[in-house]
């Protein structure tokens, strides 16, 4: 991941975006999992309704690697000149055809954009979620996350509360181990420097 020297303004704008965004309707069907999801155009529409007013924009591009996988990279930009370029997400296409590649690129764009902007684009298909068996994070896991949020804020001359908002953390005591792990991964993708 690459980012500008400072991401203070982009973090503030992203926090405000996540506060104001209206989650898009899940109106496309996935016959394999018998569930609904948000198509790419609905994700983009939700983003472009608010993001430009906050100085936020994005660009995405497709690429491939030496293993024949297709990838999509996403860059989040702010009118201040700040940016975060996220590492590409790679997958192998189900079918090695133009249609298979196109479908995979669309899929990767949707997931990447949803992750960057905090859009919920799929129904929760996690069996644990369906049965209500999500394990709450331990005090140690939460403590490490808080420490990393403070470290990240300090490294970027920002405030921990803004980083917390950007990660969409409302109540540490209700976080699951999975949510803590995802927040830690996101901080690493944003460029958290470990001593």
pLDDT for 124-174, tens place per residue?
444 444 434 568 888 888 889 999 998 888 888 888 888 888 888 888 888
Instruction: Compute the chain's Rg from CA coordinates.
Output: 17
pLDDT at 121: 59
pLDDT at 75: 98
**Domain co-membership, 34 together with 56:** yes
Most confident of the following: 18-27, 71-80, 129-138 = 71-80
**Domain co-membership, 87 together with 146:** no
Contact indicator for 76, 86 with CB cutoff of 8 Å: yes
**Domain co-membership, 90 together with 17:** yes
pLDDT at 158: 82
Q: Is the dihedral of CA 98, 124, 175, 132 positive or negative?
A: negative
**Single pTM value for the model:** 0.60
Could you tell me if residue 9 is inside a domain?
yes
How many domains does the structure of the chain reveal? 2
Burial of 156 (0-12, 13-18, 19+ CB in 10 A): buried
Structure confidence at residue 84 as a pLDDT band (50, 70, 90): very high
Quick one: tokens of 71?
């990838």
pLDDT at 58: 98
The domain boundary residue, chosen from 125, 151, 169: 125
The domain boundary residue, chosen from 79, 98, 125: 125
pLDDT at 30: 52
Residue 190 CB neighbours (<10 A): 19
Q: Give residue 52's domain range.
A: 2-125
Structure confidence at residue 32 as a pLDDT band (50, 70, 90): very low
Could you tell me if residue 83 is inside a domain?
yes
Contact indicator for 123, 38 with CB cutoff of 8 Å: no
What's the mean pLDDT in 111-128? 70
Could you tell me if residue 195 is inside a domain?
no
**Domain co-membership, 115 together with 141:** no
**Domain co-membership, 59 together with 140:** no
What's the mean pLDDT in 25-35? 54
């Amino acid at each position: 991941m690459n980012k500008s020297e400072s991401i203070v303004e982009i973090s503030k704008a992203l926090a405000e975006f996540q506060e104001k965004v209206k989650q898009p309707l899940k109106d496309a069907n996935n016959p394999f999992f018998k569930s609904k999801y948000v198509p790419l155009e609905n994700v983009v529409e939700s983003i472009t309704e608010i993001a430009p007013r906050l100085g936020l924009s994005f660009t995405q591009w497709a690429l491939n690697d030496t293993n024949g996988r297709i990838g999509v990279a996403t860059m989040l930009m702010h009118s201040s000149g700040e940016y975060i370029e996220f590492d590409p997400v790679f997958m192998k296409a189900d079918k090695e055809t133009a249609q298979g590649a196109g479908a995979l690129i669309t899929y990767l764009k949707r997931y990447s954009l949803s992750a960057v902007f905090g859009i919920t684009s799929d129904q929760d298909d996690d069996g644990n979620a369906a049965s209500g068996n999500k394990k709450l994070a331990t005090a140690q896991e939460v403590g490490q996350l808080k420490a990393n949020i403070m470290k990240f804020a300090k490294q970027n001359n920002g405030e921990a509360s803004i980083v917390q908002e950007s990660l969409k953390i409302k109540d540490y005591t209700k976080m699951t181990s999975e949510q803590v792990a995802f927040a830690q991964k996101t901080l690493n993708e944003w460029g958290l420097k470990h001593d």
